[in-house]
Every structure is written in C-alpha cells, then in structure tokens.
C-alpha cells in the first residue's frame, strides 16, 4: 500500500506525532473520532506510541494520570468539545495528585 499524497492535515499530524515522540510520550489514550482521524492514523503508525481507545474523555485523562504516577509520559488526544467533559476529573484527580496537565 503506497503512502497517500502529502497534505497540510497529514503533514501537521506527522509533526504532532514527531513532537510527542521527541517529548518521550509513550501512551496516547483517546476517544475515537473522525474529526481527528488523520492524527489518530499517524499516531497508530508510530512504533514508539501505544494508542488506547477509550469510551469517554475522562477515562483518557485517568489513564494519563496513572501513567504519570508510574513515571511514564502520556498525551491525551481528543477533539475540542471532549475537553468540556473532563472538568470533574481535571478538578479532582489531576489537581489532587498534582499531575502535569496541559
């Protein structure tokens, strides 16, 4: 299967994946979504990143917190409206354990 032609969306997605890899991120929890489809496709191609699909954005944040507490680096990937679902988990779990966020 040949690689599709480069596009701004694909190139931007590759740049994000490269930055995550260089930052030492190893875990990427995310809610599957077509809006971020190009990015998810590029994330899944990376042998250095483990992508985990979750049902809710709060689960993704909880997984990232658990990774941080174990000494790993994680990046939650979600579409913009998903952030609104995370208010409670950010205000409680993230704040309580002082997990780096944003």
Q: What is the pLDDT along the chain (102 residues), one digit of tens a residue?
A: 555 566 668 899 999 999 999 999 999 999 988 889 999 999 999 999 999 999 999 999 999 999 998 999 999 999 888 888 888 888 888 788 788 776
Distances in Å between the Cα of 93 and the Cα atoms of 35, 54, 65, 98 are 27, 18, 8, 8
43 within some domain: yes
pLDDT for residue 43: 97
101 within some domain: no
Q: What range defines the domain where residue 50 resides? A: 8-96
User: Which residue, 19, 17, 14, is CA-closest to 3?
Assistant: 14
The CATH number of the domain holding residue 15 is 3.40.50.970
What is the domain count for the chain? 1
Q: The pTM is what?
A: 0.83
1/41 Cα distance (integer angstroms): 14
28 within some domain: yes
pLDDT for residue 71: 93
Phi, psi of 32 (to 5 degrees): -55, 135
């Amino acid at each position: 299967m040949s690689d599709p032609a480069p596009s701004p969306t694909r190139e931007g997605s590759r740049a994000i994946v490269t930055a995550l890899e260089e930052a030492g991120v190893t875990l990427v929890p995310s809610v599957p979504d077509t809006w971020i489809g190009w990015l998810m496709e590029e994330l899944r191609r990376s042998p250095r990143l483990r992508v985990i699909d979750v049902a809710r954005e709060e689960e993704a944040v909880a997984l990232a917190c658990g990774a941080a507490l174990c000494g790993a680096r994680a990046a939650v990937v979600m579409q913009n409206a998903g952030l609104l679902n995370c208010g409670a988990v950010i205000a409680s779990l993230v704040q309580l354990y002082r997990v780096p966020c944003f």
